[in-house]
Amino acid sequence: MRKIPMDKPIIEIDGDEMARVMWGWVKEKLILPYVDLKVEYYDLHVKVRDETNDNITISSAEAIKRWGVGVKCATITPDAERVKEYNLKKAWRSPNATIREILDGTLFRAPIILKNIIPAVRFWRKPIVVARHAYGDIYSGVGLKFDEPGEAELVYRSVSGREVRIKLPKLESSGILQAYHNLDSSIRSFARASFSYALNNNLDVWFAAKDTISKVYDARFKEIFQEVYESEFREEFEKRGLKYEYYLIDDAYARAVRSDGGFVWATKNFDGDVISDLVASAFSGSIALMTSELYSPQGYYLAEAAHGTVRRHYYRWLKGEKTSTNPTGVIFAWSRGLRERGRRDGNMQLVSYAEALEEAVKHTIEEDRIMTQDIARVAEPPVNAIVTTEEFIESVKRNLEKIIEKKRLIS
Ligand code: NAP
Ligand code: MG
For the cut 90, the answer to whether the pLDDT of residue 29 exceeds it is yes
Measured in whole angstroms, how far is the alpha carbon of residue 39 from the centre of its chain?
21
Q: What is the mean pLDDT of residues 194-210?
A: 94
Position 101 scores a pLDDT of 84
Rounded to 5°, angle at Cα 325 from 82 and 121: 100
Question: Alpha-carbon distance 208 to 106, whole Å?
Answer: 16
Question: Alpha-carbon distance 400 to 363, whole Å?
Answer: 9
pLDDT tens string 262-291: 999 999 999 998 998 888 888 887 889 999
Most confident of 73-82, 120-129, 266-275: 73-82
Position 9 scores a pLDDT of 98
Position 222 scores a pLDDT of 98
Residue 394 banded pLDDT, cuts 50, 70, 90: very high
The residues lining ligand 1, judged by C-beta closer than 6 Å to any ligand atom, are 74-77, 96, 287-288, 304, 307-312, 325-326, 329, 374
pLDDT tens string 245-262: 999 999 999 999 999 999
For the cut 90, the answer to whether the pLDDT of residue 297 exceeds it is no
CA 308 to ligand 1 centroid distance, Å: 4
Position 200 scores a pLDDT of 82
Percent of the chain scored above 70 by pLDDT? 100
Relative to the alpha carbon of 287, which ligand is closest?
1
Q: What is the mean pLDDT of residues 362-379?
A: 96
Most confident of 43-47, 284-288, 404-408: 43-47
Residue 100 banded pLDDT, cuts 50, 70, 90: confident
For the cut 80, the answer to whether the pLDDT of residue 1 exceeds it is no
For the cut 80, the answer to whether the pLDDT of residue 411 exceeds it is no
Question: Alpha-carbon distance 365 to 376, whole Å?
Answer: 9
Query: Atom of ligand 1 at shortest distance to CA of 313?
Result: 46
Measured in whole angstroms, how far is the alpha carbon of residue 291 from the centre of its chain?
7
CA distances from 81 to 74, 319, 330, 347, 379 (A): 18, 20, 26, 45, 35
What is the CATH number that goes with domain 1-111+288-411? 3.40.718.10
CA 172 to ligand 1 centroid distance, Å: 39
Q: Whose CA is nearest to atom 26 of ligand 1?
A: 308
Q: What is the mean pLDDT of residues 109-128?
A: 91
Position 135 scores a pLDDT of 86
Question: Alpha-carbon distance 47 to 62, whole Å?
Answer: 20
pLDDT tens string 305-351: 989 999 999 999 999 999 999 999 999 999 999 999 999 999 999 99
Relative to the alpha carbon of 331, which ligand is closest?
1
Measured in whole angstroms, how far is the alpha carbon of residue 339 from the centre of its chain?
16
Query: Atom of ligand 1 at shortest distance to CA of 95?
Result: 40
Which of 45, 309, 391 should be mutated for ligand 1, with most atoms under 8 A from CB? 309
Relative to the alpha carbon of 305, which ligand is closest?
1
Domain boundaries, the chain: 1-111+288-411, 118-137+182-284, 142-179
CA 348 to ligand 2 centroid distance, Å: 34
Q: Whose CA is nearest to atom 13 of ligand 1?
A: 310
